[in-house]
Copies of this chain bind each other. A is one copy, B any other.
Amino acid sequence: MAKFQKHVFICGNQRDPEAPRGSCDPTGKGELQKAFKDRLTELGLKRTIRANKSGCLDQCEHGPTVLVYPEAVWYGRVQLSDVDEIIQSHLVGGVPVARLVLPEECINTRECPHKPRVKN
């Protein structure tokens, strides 16, 4: 084995509760990343699929954000209850979970309707 077959980055950015862009991990506990990591470990997949803590992925308005490389599939509003489905359907089965995938036109664009105030 060498490079990870799938590398999952789970945003652990915590901001002030009043921050206008929101925060992917309001409690700062990293529960979503731990849930991915624990489940992958249970399934014996932790050496080929890595659930990585990440700093801000800059799609805060759509958070909690999860990003899967090498295919660059971005997920938004991911909850603990979605972890198993993402693992089974996408990371194991190769089929992204369509209902959670961020539309291309929402990523890094000023025009995204969910992103009224984009940092320059």
Contacts and interface: CB of A to CB of B under 8 A. Distances in A.
Given A52-B54, A54-B55, A108-B3, A72 B74 contact: no
A50 B9 CA distance: 14
Size class of the contact patch on chain A = 20 to 34
Contacts of A107: 2-3
Contacts of A104: 2-3
Contacts of A74: 3
A72 B69 contact: yes
Interface string A57-98: 110000000010111101000000000000000000000000
B72 A3 contact: yes
A7 interface: yes
A3 B65 CA distance: 14
A1 interface: yes
